[in-house]
Structure 1
Amino acid sequence: MLRKHVEFRKQKDIDNITSWQPPEVIQQYLAGGTCGYDLDGCPVWYDIIGPLDAKGLLLSASKQDLLRTKMRDCELLLQECACQTTKLGKKIETITMIYDCEGLGLKHLWKPAVEAYGQFLCMFEENYPETLKRLFVVKAPKLFPVAYNLIKPFLSEDTRKKIMVLG
């Protein structure tokens, strides 16, 4: 597993990914970012899913650029964890995520978009294990269980236990 991770980092040039800039279309239309810290000092990442035009984004940017952007986000979050460790004097290794699903609809269930998100989840599970502290899903519409069932196979049991749907 460690060899596979080292190969992943080498192949994707992860050590230099934070200096890479995503294409303009991704910067402009992919919402989300760090919004503060939880009570333990862990970074909180807020992702706005609802208004995302996944089909438009995948037709305007490559799937590889989208995945690379998410890898870059993961590395930036790990850097933030290291900064918090220094600042607080205690080890910070996990992140809290909030997915705002207001506006989630059938347009988000476009097969190539679901597959791309599945690839990201697999990459996250394999290369950033135990980085997720908790994932809160907020403003989940009635369609959310359908969307969740499409991505659930990509998630480990431990990760599924960390997901809390708040409505």
Structure 2
Amino acid sequence: MDQKTPLQTHPEASPKPNKKSFVTTFMEATTLRTPSFKEDTYFVSQLKSSEKKALQELKDKLMGSEASDGSMWGVPLLGNDEKADVILLKFLRARDFRVPDAFAMLLKCLAWRKEFGADGVVEEDLGFKELEGVVAYMHGFDKQGHPVCYNAYGVFKDRDMYERIFGDDEKLKKFLRWRVQVLERGINALHFKPGGINSIIQVTDLKDMPKRELRVASNQILSLFQDNYPEMVARKVFINVPWYFSALYSIFSPFLTQRTKSKFVISKEGNVAETLYKFIRPEDVPVQYGGLSRLSDLQNGPPKPASEFTVKGGEKVNIQIEGIEADATITWDIVVGGWDLEYSAEFVPNAEGSYIIQVDKPRKVMPSEEAIHNSFTPREAGKMVFSVDNSASRRRKVAAYRYIVRKSASI
């Protein structure tokens, strides 16, 4: 069944306050300091003559070194193919095409990967089952097809959890190994091909993050990734940014290049879904961040596409799904970023005199709630109407829904 265009009412929205918070001011200042990052396509034909020369010089240096047979992610660095060029260009760009610096970085990375055993870490069982899908995990793709890695360290506000994972140097080393494992899994999904998907998206949730306790671990992760995974991140999105982000930024800043900082997107608390929807379709955004995707969904193939819509402040939106036959089952998912508004669902029969059926009674949906998933099988033909009432708020909200209608099996 084809989806109908939702019918929406558009009452005039109430004016929004103009007062800026400290975080908003800081975010704007950060944006001014860090211009938007433009990802490279890795076509050698599009390089400047000086960049082509640098690429050849790097190859010549590598050929004359003990690392001439080196490889990364299964790609021989002197394989004279496009994949090798993509990897070498990552090191060159990380060092602004300064060949000696890029070569030194490359040699150190090859040595680290050998010592660390990075090529085999993906297959290891490191025993962090309680952290999988919670602290760091790959989940879906962005609108351009980049794999997305989510990071959330709020669970470590629990002192027992913190001691269990970071209690001593050996535990910290094991955690860092697990964190590299997560990243390597994401990198295995990359193309290493000009014009292809050659980097990932990092989303870092700062909610409840114990900044002081995690300072050592955070610095080591940043240093390790920046030294050994150049240009592997196309964009780094910080969500649930607290008021003390400026202090965190000052801690991390010395470890970051200007090119890395230009990839930052900063979203304050309560603005998560709106930020993520700019880069990631709602069916790929985890439910805890205002999307429709659950970890269990990833095992069932590509997600069913969702339709996005906006609920303005002071507005009530009605989504109508028409043409539902008798005994057909409609199943739907609907979510509003940050909720904090009233939702209801009802079935309206086509026949005159039939009663409207309240499928989901009107209720206030709290900000902490995830996407609603429900189904209904009517006994007569009609339409479903989903109502999202934001009339009590001045704040604009992003939202998404999807549905599928299955006709009853013929007897």
TM-score band w.r.t. shorter chain:
0.7 to 0.9
List structure 1 segments (4+ residues) > 4 angstroms apart after TM superposition. Answer: none
CA distance in 2, matches of 1:34, 1:71: 12
In structure 2, the partner of 1:131 is 232
CA distance in 2, matches of 1:20, 1:33: 16
Counterparts in 2 of 1:147-162, with a 5 A limit?
147-162=248-263
Counterparts in 2 of 1:12-51, with a 5 A limit?
12-23=116-127, 26-29=128-131, 31-51=135-155
**Given residue 129 of structure 2, which amino acid in structure 1 is its aligned partner?**
Q
Counterparts in 2 of 1:17-166, with a 5 A limit?
17-23=121-127, 26-29=128-131, 31-53=135-157, 55-56=162-163, 57-59=165-167, 62-82=171-191, 91-104=196-209, 107-110=210-213, 113-166=214-267
**What root-mean-square deviation, in Å, do the aligned CA atoms of Structure 1 and Structure 2 show?**
2.2
- 1:127: Cα distance to partner? 0.8
Q: Secondary structure at the match of 1:62?
A: helix
Tell me which protein shows more helix as a share of its residues. Answer: 1
- Structure 2: any 5+ residue segments left out of the alignment? 1-104, 269-411
Taking CA–CA contacts closer than 8 Å with sequence separation of 6 or more, which of the two structures ends up with the larger relative contact order?
1
Q: Secondary structure at the match of 1:28?
A: coil
Report the identity percentage.
23
**Given residue 62 of structure 1, which amino acid in structure 2 is its aligned partner?**
K
Match of 1:6 among 93, 102, 110: 110
* Equivalent residues, number: 157
CA distance in 2, matches of 1:138, 1:8: 31
Q: Secondary structure at the match of 1:166?
A: strand
TM-score (normalizing by structure 2): 0.36
Cα distance change, pair 6–15 in 1 and its aligned pair in 2 (3 A): same
TM-score (normalizing by structure 1): 0.84
**Given residue 183 of structure 2, which amino acid in structure 1 is its aligned partner?**
C
CA contact (8 A) 1:109 1:147 kept: no
- Structure 1: any 5+ residue segments left out of the alignment? none
Cα distance change, pair 144–27 in 1 and its aligned pair in 2 (3 A): farther
Q: Secondary structure at the match of 1:137?
A: strand
